Structure 1
Amino acid sequence: MDLDELQRQHDEIEAMIARFHQAIADENIPQRLGPLRWQFARLLMAHLALEDRIFYPNMQRQPHEKLRGTAARLESEMAPMASDFAAYMARWSDDRIEREWADFCRETREMLAGILNRLQKEEGLLMPLLFDAGLIESSRIRRAG
């Protein structure tokens, strides 16, 4: 399990979320977001796949009961994120974004908030448990929930 890669992806997703927020800051001026949206989609889907195939299954094999339980709860809470994001991408074509810019901005803010909440939960809840289980050093814990 490469926690450094997981953290690097979290950092990259957070940076892209900040770029998205800048791009949709003004609901009156539509922006062309095709490249940013697809770059974000590739990054997010790769990250979710890493978590689903490697990170969470690895958490379920750990002897630390609280870590297993918290990981299982977070995994089930967040399970629909990939399908929800795919539906969001399908709903918003470039033409529709241009026509319904304000609605796109609002829905995008909600979607980004959900993703950021997921990252913060993982870091705030799982990282301290990974430390307690002896799997990471305390210097790796960046957020407190």
Structure 2
Amino acid sequence: MEIDRFKKQHVEILQGIATLRKLAHAGIEVNAREIARQVQALGSVITLHLAIEDRILYPSLQKGTDTGLAEMGKVYQEDMKGIASSFIAFARKWSVAKVVAEQAEAFRAEANTVLKVLHARMQRENTEFYPAIEAV
């Protein structure tokens, strides 16, 4: 199965997380507009990534002959539901510069939680899930 587009999107997602961290460290209030823009951009990439996974990747794994990989896909898909829900709520809340600037510490706390979980998930997919898919 060809998964290069998923890997490319992971790079974009991880770069987006890194950019948000840099902006937050440089000052949330002064970078509120760019932070909100980056949250929107990251949300777009993640939404597209999730849609493609749900429409193409996971169904393909379920139709395949490798039952272990099919089960792994189910576990990853189920796990992502909670992560996606948290990120979508995060993106809706923090995509407005005024809100980011007025609630800087709340943004920092929520970003640390949500983006840490998202980052860990991307790394797990990169080191476990995608190599398992490519091995088949």
Q: Is the 8 A contact 1:16 1:40 kept in 2?
A: yes
Deviation string for 1:66-105 (max 9, x for gaps)? 1111111111111133332221123333222111102201
Do residues 126 (structure 1) and 121 (structure 2) align? no
**Mapping of 1:112-123 within 5 angstroms?**
112-123=115-126
Do residues 38 (structure 1) and 40 (structure 2) align? yes
Q: Distance in 1 between matches of 2:83 and 2:47?
A: 10
Do residues 99 (structure 1) and 125 (structure 2) align? no
Unaligned runs of 5+ in 2: none
Give 4+ residue runs of structure 1 displaced > 6 Å after superposition.
none
- Please give the TM-score of this superposition, normalised by the length of structure 1: 0.81
Unaligned runs of 5+ in 1: 134-145
Q: Is the 8 A contact 1:27 1:105 kept in 2?
A: no
User: Which is further off, 84-93 or 101-110?
Assistant: 84-93
Q: Is the 8 A contact 1:28 1:101 kept in 2?
A: yes
Distance 1:67 1:46, change over 3 A: same
Distance 1:56 1:95, change over 3 A: same
Q: Is the 8 A contact 1:30 1:101 kept in 2?
A: no
More helix by share: 2
Deviation string for 1:33-78 (max 9, x for gaps)? 2321211111111111111111111111121121111111111111
Q: Is the 8 A contact 2:61 2:70 kept in 1?
A: yes
Ranked by relative contact order (alpha carbons within 8 Å, sequence separation 6 or more), the top structure is: 2
Equivalenced residue count is 133
Distance 1:91 1:62, change over 3 A: same
